[in-house]
Structure 1
Amino acid sequence: MGQENTGPKSRVKTAERTFELVEFLKDADGATLAEATEAVNLPKSSVHNYLKTLEHRGYVVETDGVYEVGLRFLDLGAFARTKVPLYPVAEPELETVAEETGELANLLVEQDGRGTFVYRKKGESAVKIDSYNGQQILLHTTAIGKAILANLPEDRVEAILDRHGLPAKTDRTITDREALYEELEEIRAEGFAYDHEERIRGLNCVATPVFHGDEVAGAISVTGPTSRMSEDRIEGELKQQLRNAKNVVELNLSHS
């Protein structure tokens, strides 16, 4: 795995610790004071002060000694999403894709070298997976992420891989740079990316990039269980659904 960029020297340790603590609470799905203290390696009294400050501001809630991320973050996330130009024009098209395919339709954008699911819509037959709007992923692990990577400038791709590396999520994840570069070249040529159980076992995905002018603005995809994501279905129904959605989204984006 590549080394994380340590960032500017002007980083404030208090802010770093605050977000480290919040991210731990999210990943742990809630924690006691003792568990949080052990996780962030700070004195118990300091962690208590951090938690109580966050609780006072509404970013953490405490129930029976367990601290969890609060809904105040939903306000920030929902506001941040309104700043993504792709979201309002892609949302109705992905609703149509989800309704007509019955599967999970997704919209991903890249920021800071990671992918963020700005919108996910479940069709009637969509499988239940641990996913949600706002979830972040490593771009190389999914079709939708690779669709974006394939259309970023080469130096930007290099910087992303240097920072985040190529860690495996399953035994099918691409972990070799040369193999990834070869696949990205194929994606650029075809206009579609594929994910065969590379992030979650049992799931396949097909994706296509969305452009605003000459720049990739994000990507859209359809995800479903391997039993329903046959090659014939992907090459026929699903790719056509994505082509239709992409065309409308790009037209609306260019005139928004």
Structure 2
Amino acid sequence: MNKESGGRRVQATMTSLEIVEMLRELDGARVTELAEALDLSPSTVHTHLSTLVDADYVVKSGDIYHLSLHFLGLANYVRNRRNAYAIADSYTDQLARETECRAVFVVEENGRGVYMYTYSGKHAVWKYSTVGKRFHLHQTAAGKAILSQLPRERVIDIVEEWGLPAGTENTTTDQSVLLEELEAVEERGVAFNDEEQLEGVKAVGVPVDGSDGRVVGAFSVASPANRMTEDRFKKEIPKTLLGVANEFELENSMS
């Protein structure tokens, strides 16, 4: 899972990171709001915030604290060090234009999915997939596409770490059923999300490999269920995705 096992942890560092995450979740907050949300004393929160402000990771406006743009530079660095991202954005744009839907490029990190890039087509109305957002792989088409390319032992490790929580009543929550589904995805090269993450949203995803043959991510196209006919869901969009994935892999192998 690429996490450190064993060893000591610095609680002060964990507390600062919890404050950072809560500032994002609350879209800015006062000391008292953070203290209540994290069950910490106001003095402890204030000490951590003062340190984060001094380090330029947090800014203060009146009595409200926000994350600073320092994180923007870090985020760009993290995203750009993934070689596949250098060309994935243009192919995601192409998918969105051709399908007129919401298109995304997704990678896996520590057993979770991460939206690396998104683009909305002409008739896209769903904006749940924001850049940087993490999600359970088994609930999405892109996530299942990636899982289908991983060793089964790794898939089981991911399930043991994160579980199989239900996003909707259609989500696969049984490990044996998921493994069977992943075999089918691997065979046909396409994964489907039939309202499994959000009710009213269907999606199709395909994995893409790097020059070494290992999966580097997945492209996916999502649309409101009422605009996704069966033929479009099972034939038209998969064909488009497979074509774009092939172009991506070809260019990626030469870069």
Inter-CA distance 168–154: structure 2 relative to 1 (3 Å threshold): same
1:9 aligns with 7
Identity score, percent? 39
1:114, 1:137 within 8 Å by CA — same for their partners in 2? Answer: yes
Q: Distance in 2 between matches of 1:231 and 1:159?
A: 34
Indicate if the aligned counterparts of 2:185 and 2:191 stay in contact, CA closer than 8 A: yes
Match of 1:253 in 2: 252
Structure-2 change in CA distance of 1:197 and 1:58 (3 Å): farther
Once the two structures are TM-superposed, the CA of residue 7 in structure 1 deviates from its matched residue by 4.2
CA drift of 1:190 comes to: 1.0
**Structure 1: distance between partners of 2:81 and 2:230:** 36
Residue in structure 1 matching 2:61, options 60, 63, 71: 63
- Runs of 4+ with deviation above 4 angstroms: none
- Taking the aligned partners of 2:17 and 2:119, their CA distance within structure 1 comes to 29
Q: Deviations over 1:67-120 (max 9, x none)?
A: 232222111111111111111122111111111211111101111111111111
State the alpha-carbon separation in 2 of the partners of residues 104 and 143 from structure 1: 13
Name the structure 2 match of 1:38.
Answer: 36
- Cα–Cα, structure 1 residues 227 and 31, in superposed 2: closer, same or farther, change >3 Å? same
Equivalent position amino acid for 1:247 in 2 = N
Q: For residues 116-155 of structure 1, what are the structure 2 equivalents within 5 Å? A: 116-155=114-153
Following the alignment from structure 2 to structure 1, what is the Cα–Cα distance between the partners of residues 190 and 78? 28
Aligned residue number for residue 72 of structure 2? 74
- Structure-2-length-normalised TM-score: 0.93
Counterpart contact for 2:88–2:105, Cα < 8 Å: yes
* Counterpart mapping for 1:1-256 below 5 A: 7-212=5-210, 213-256=212-255
Deviations 1:164-207 (CA, angstroms, capped at 9, x unpaired): 11112222222111121111111111111011111122110000
Counterpart amino acid of residue 249 in structure 2: E
Q: CA RMSD in A?
A: 1.7
TM-score by length of 1: 0.92
Which residue type is aligned with residue 221 of structure 2? V
CA contact (8 A) 1:17 1:40 kept: no
Long gaps (5+) in structure 1: none
Any unmatched runs of 5+ in structure 2? none
Distance 1:227 1:245 in 2: 25
- Higher relative contact order (Cα pairs below 8 Å, separated by 6+ residues): 1
Question: Would the alpha carbon gap of residues 77 and 46 (structure 1) be closer, same or farther in structure 2, given more than 3 Å must change?
Answer: same
Distance 1:207 1:232 in 2: 16
Matched length: 252
